Copies of this chain bind each other. A is one copy, B any other.
């Protein structure tokens, strides 16, 4: 595969023309009309202009669902997303003797649909507007923390104004690293219910062994439904709610994908780093990724050991373990891929070329200052990684820190509070606090914290913090003693104890005493101090990176290439084709897998324990209507060269006519490094073939009412 080059001149910023890498690009919808010629050459049959409007079909059907993406597939709010995106919803509804993870679930009718965990959200993007001038208005002459605060204040004001009309959540998205800002307006649907899930051994067939792998044979899909109040407005769960009337929904294609077919997807890719500096590439490859792999290995070991001894702990930590394994595998794959693509050298040469050719003196000064700021952040990297995981991988410790922080923030006027602690965030915080005890076991939490704090204890003095030393001491014995005392005494494992303190914290009132709360009172000030350092650095980089980006725009323009903003959780569109690849010399991966592969992999033991109804149906070859006419068998998954990253899970994959042919759920191992570097030889996305969904829902675990609602051909 070779890059296609174009010599068409490009304008600066988003007024871009033909991309040189037709397959690379997570385009903002507003960029697509300018890419019209490329889109048509790639095979798109629709009008590129229709892809620019996030409030009209097809993009208005594409929603943010949980941590991923989903799409409306009926006018009554039915949402197609991944099994792994909805995993928490399925787990939340599982009880001993009623294991929806293992057994799957089919709601017999709408009354039978099961409410999701309270913090599960679906967001419908209804506005995507450029607000750069407003955001940067007060930054003139500022640097560091002041620059950060100016951007932050302006952003919050925009959000407050946007949300004032009610019923929507707003945010300001930073595009091109401070170069542009967009106001994203989203309807927040809070009553989400489970309509259909295949058994684990279909929805997660192959589990960690096949995760990130190709060839793949996973039915990684689930159907949810969004409900709203009788007034049609978003509302928390109520039995009286009614299905949400979707602004648009996608239609299932009759035919399936074939090699070379045009394909596109839309979704909410979380974060990419493709336009980071060469120094940041070097740090990622030489330090960050190897370290993450090592730490995750330890954390996974602890959770697995606990699960092996305690079935209850195993259930409670199932989602966290899956997430840890995913992150570990992703880090390892990213490292392997970046090395294979020789990313350090390639990015460094690219940057050298850019600087030699394009950097004006003023830009060059900013770029040098940016490099110095980045180096300053690296000096504390071990500590920052551990403290980040200290909150992210705990339940009660995080609860205590959240409550104490909420108490402090709530003493300020709402507009001055830290993001995530404003009045608008209270419902989300409450949702998180409510589910804690379903996902918590004191022994596992202590073991996880022991791993992190032991590593912390070994850091050089320059990176260590007095409050942590006071709390946990400097030796394994003091650490064990401290954790034992904290977890023996805390009452935060009790939902009522958490919620009563939440009620106080949101009012800025003192919190009832508790060992973890008392500890948080000493740690949160440290957190605030570190946050100030971070924001100062971020402010500097927010000020300085646009110089780097402008120089990069100019350099790409010389190369005849368009530029998209790095992913930031906003709605993006990618287009390309159905395409296999060669992972290594002598091996070619075909782009479509079939039911034969399910049988080949089946061992009868998890994760390759295909359910008997599935194996029987394959043996019967009862594929009429969904089998591939050429392969003459049931297809399962397929590959495209679409540009995706985490957050694109659940993205609908459309054909040239905009019909739904697939559901994105993974990347191949060779492309995990695409979050930093897009290598067209290896970057592929893995999708569920919609014919497999139609077959499963038609013949294997039938839900004819849902298929009919989706207008299945």
Contacts and interface: CB of A to CB of B under 8 A. Distances in A.
Interface of A: 214-217, 584-590, 592-594, 596-597, 600
A165 to B, nearest CB: 50
A593 B586 contact: yes
B586 A589 contact: yes
Contacts of A592: 586
A583 to B, nearest CB: 9
Nearest to A591: B586
Contact of A587 (B215, B217, B585): B215
Residue in A214, A585, A589 with the greatest tally of chain B CB atoms within 10 Å: A585
A361 B590 CA distance: 53
Nearest to A637: B586
Contacts of A217: 585
A701 to B, nearest CB: 22
27 contacts: A214-B586, A215-B584, A215-B585, A215-B586, A215-B587, A216-B586, A217-B585, A584-B597, A584-B600, A585-B593, A585-B594, A585-B596, A585-B597, A585-B600, A586-B589, A586-B590, A586-B592, A586-B593, A586-B594, A586-B597, A587-B587, A587-B588, A587-B589, A587-B590, A588-B588, A588-B589, A588-B590
Majority SS of interface residues in chain A?
mixed
Nearest to A216: B586
A216 B584 CA distance: 11
A594 B589 CA distance: 17
A590 B217 CA distance: 22
Contacts of A600: 584-585
Given A217-B585, A587-B587, 18 more contacts: A214-B586, A215-B584, A215-B585, A215-B586, A216-B586, A584-B597, A584-B600, A585-B593, A585-B594, A585-B597, A585-B600, A586-B590, A586-B593, A587-B588, A587-B589, A587-B590, A588-B589, A588-B590
A700 B216 CA distance: 41
A541 B589 CA distance: 48
Contacts of A587: 215, 587-590
A593 B586 CA distance: 5
Contacts of A214: 586
A600 B586 CA distance: 11
A671 to B, nearest CB: 16
Nearest to A217: B585
Nearest to A215: B586
A593 B216 CA distance: 25
Contacts of A594: 585-586
A-B residue pairs, 8 tightest by C-beta? A215-B586, A585-B597, A586-B593, A588-B588, A585-B596, A585-B593, A584-B600, A586-B590
Nearest to A594: B585
A584 B215 CA distance: 9
A471 B634 CA distance: 64
A587 B589 CA distance: 5
Contacts of A593: 585-586
Contacts of A584: 215, 597, 600
Residue in A216, A217, A594, A600 with the greatest tally of chain B CB atoms within 10 Å: A600
Contacts of A586: 214-216, 589-590, 592-594, 597
Contacts of A585: 215, 217, 593-594, 596-597, 600
Contacts of A588: 587-590
A139 B594 CA distance: 57
A673 to B, nearest CB: 16
